[in-house]
Amino acid sequence: MNYLENKELLYYPLPFHEAGLSETASGYGLRLTSPYKVEHNGRLYRVYNTCVSNVSSSWILVGGEKTYLRT
C-alpha cells in the first residue's frame, strides 16, 4: 500500500457538495467523491473516500493505483 503523510487538503467542491447533497442515499460507498484535492508531485488530485460500516478511508488515484492519505 502507498501512503501520503501530512498533505494539506484544498477545498474544491462539486455542485452537489455546494447543494448539501451526498453522492449516495445512504452515505456509504466504495468510491465517494470528496470536496477536497491534494497536491502531489506538482499536480492536484481529487480525494476519494471509501466508507463502509461507519469507517472511512481517504485516498487518491496516482497512476491508476490507490494512495491512501494519513492526515
**Residues 7-57 pLDDT 10s:** 999 999 999 999 999 999 998 999 999 999 999 999 999 999 999 988 999
Q: Structure pTM?
A: 0.91
Domain tally, the chain: 1
Position 1 confidence tier, pLDDT thresholds 50, 70, 90: confident
C-alpha distances in Å from residue 38, one per residue of 16, 30, 42, 53, 60: 20, 19, 10, 25, 8
**Set of cell numbers at residue 15:** 455542485
For residue 11, the enclosing domain spans: 2-70
Angle at 15 between CA 32 and CA 19, to 5 degrees: 95
